[in-house]
């Protein structure tokens, strides 16, 4: 039976169910390795895929990859959104913490408790960006720190200084600390599992190699994890799942390793090692799933073969609103621009929360995208710049589109730094 785990509570004065999302699943029986189930929800007006993803404990890349035809910033009310809340467990021992960087998910196997069936808890994570990759290998938790301070290494301080964002030698605990409120120290020198003061970057490659969690997730994990817990970090973009006699393939985008030219060869060798000898392989389907990299377990054998999305026709109700009170990114101050500088219009927003989310993600890109916002005629205008010429502005606009899925308007030149370069009445995107 396909189901979602939920915790029920009695509301005062009645028996109505109070939903609360749970990232905890019972471990499947011996021989199976899939937990959770796919589902769908209907987007509400003014809601982004980031809002939906956080509510269902999904990261940015996870929910956007599963919904390739949906605008992540403007899905529009009534849009059906797939929830990729079905997971093939990593090919690793089911103990302690297992992190699959390709899936951008953390899996925690709590110690066995008398009378309680074995469980697995899973959370979305942010990982190291290009040039600062999260290392794979084995480690363990050596310490737990609440309200940590951060001592950035010299290499990170140099990088920030070169981007015009100098860091102090020690960043104290508080809302400006990128480690958030909780951190787990590891035997891997210089690497942590921690929270974030910029939660909308969870599910992206934005860190300097550390593993980031949503504030509400790291608080739960921090409370559950004892010092000494084993940590295994793997990079498994292809996972062969098995459930009730059916084989599934779950594929994510390959972030490290062989280029696309070797995909067919490497994938063929990998799946030949995974499936029992003599199992018919629908090769074109396997290649199609791997190339798409949507992260959705898709049946290769059995009665569900050829059905990429096994979702009940009804939608599920939103079970949890984020109420941790974590402060979102504040609007960045734009750099003082000389006359003749170039800018591009990122988007216009009616919802100030969405403007803050995009501003925070622009600030996390490497190098960061300078941006500033202004309010007029009931909308918030977010622009990026300044840039010395049109070519540079166009290149940045394309980088934002590739990274965040936002197609910006054509760059504009600001002949006077005192004049608004984006006149009201132009094409506006209501996000």
User: Within 13 Å, how many C-alpha atoms sit on residue 91's CB side?
Assistant: 14
Distance separating alpha carbons of residues 342 and 380, to the nearest angstrom: 20
Q: Which of 160, 208, 210, 242 is catalytic?
A: 210
Distance CA 121, CA 107 (A): 6
Catalytic pick among 160, 194, 242, 262? 194
DSSP character at residue 326: P
Centroid of chain to Cα 274: 28
* Selection from 358, 334, 307 nearest residue 422 by Cα: 334
Active site residue 210: yes
Tokens for 423? 């006149």
Angle in degrees, CA 87, 91, 92, rounded to 5: 115
Tell me, yes or no, if 194 is annotated catalytic: yes
393 in Cβ contact with 343 (< 8 Å)? yes
First to last CA, the chain: 38
Question: In whole angstroms, how far apart are CA 282 and each of 131, 255, 306, 350, 415?
Answer: 36, 25, 10, 47, 59
| Tokens linked to 392 | 């540079």
Q: CA 318, 50, 381 angle in degrees (round to 5)?
A: 125
- Write out the catalytic residue numbers: 194, 210
């Amino acid at each position: 039976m396909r189901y979602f785990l939920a915790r029920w509570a009695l509301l005062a004065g009645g028996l109505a169910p109070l939903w609360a999302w749970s990232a905890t699943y019972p471990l499947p029986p011996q021989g199976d390795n899939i937990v959770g189930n796919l589902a769908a929800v209907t987007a509400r007006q003014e809601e982004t895929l980031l809002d939906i993803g956080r509510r269902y404990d999904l990261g940015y890349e996870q929910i956007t990859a599963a919904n390739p035809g949906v605008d992540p910033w403007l899905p529009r009310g009534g849009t059906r959104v797939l929830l990729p809340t079905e997971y093939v467990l990593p090919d690793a021992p089911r103990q302690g913490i297992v992190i699959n960087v390709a899936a951008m998910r953390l899996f925690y196997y709590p110690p066995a408790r008398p009378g309680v069936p074995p469980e697995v808890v899973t959370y979305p994570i942010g990982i190291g960006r290009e040039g600062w990759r999260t290392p794979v290998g084995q480690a363990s938790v050596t310490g737990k720190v609440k309200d940590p301070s951060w001592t950035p290494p010299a290499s990170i301080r140099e990088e920030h200084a070169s981007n015009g964002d100098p860091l102090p030698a020690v960043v104290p605990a508080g809302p400006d600390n990128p480690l958030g409120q909780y951190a787990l120290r590891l035997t891997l020198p210089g690497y942590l599992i921690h929270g974030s003061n910029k939660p909308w970057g969870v599910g992206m490659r934005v860190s300097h190699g550390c593993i980031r969690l949503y504030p509400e997730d790291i608080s739960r994990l921090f409370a559950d994890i004892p010092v000494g817990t084993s940590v295994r970090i793997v990079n498994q973009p292809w996972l062969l799942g098995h459930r009730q006699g059916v084989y599934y393939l779950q594929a994510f985008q390959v972030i490290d390793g062989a280029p696309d030219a070797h995909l067919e060869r490497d994938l063929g060798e990998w799946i030949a090692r995974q499936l029992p000898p003599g199992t018919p392989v629908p090769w074109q389907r396997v290649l199609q799933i791997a190339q798409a990299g949507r992260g959705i377990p898709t049946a290769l054998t059995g009665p569900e073969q050829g059905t990429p999305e096994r979702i009940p026709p009804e939608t599920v109700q939103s079970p949890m609103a984020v109420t941790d009170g974590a402060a979102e990114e504040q609007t960045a101050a734009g750099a003082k621009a000389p006359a003749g500088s170039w800018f591009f219009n990122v988007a216009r927003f009616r919802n100030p929360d969405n403007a803050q989310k995009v501003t925070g993600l622009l600030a996390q890109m490497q190098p960061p995208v300078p941006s500033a916002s202004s309010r007029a005629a009931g909308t918030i205008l977010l622009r990026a710049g300044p840039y010395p010429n049109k070519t540079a502005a166009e290149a940045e606009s394309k980088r934002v589109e590739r990274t965040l899925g936002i197609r910006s308007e054509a760059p504009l030149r600001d002949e006077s730094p005192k004049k608004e370069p984006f006149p009201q009445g132009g094409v506006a995107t209501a996000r």
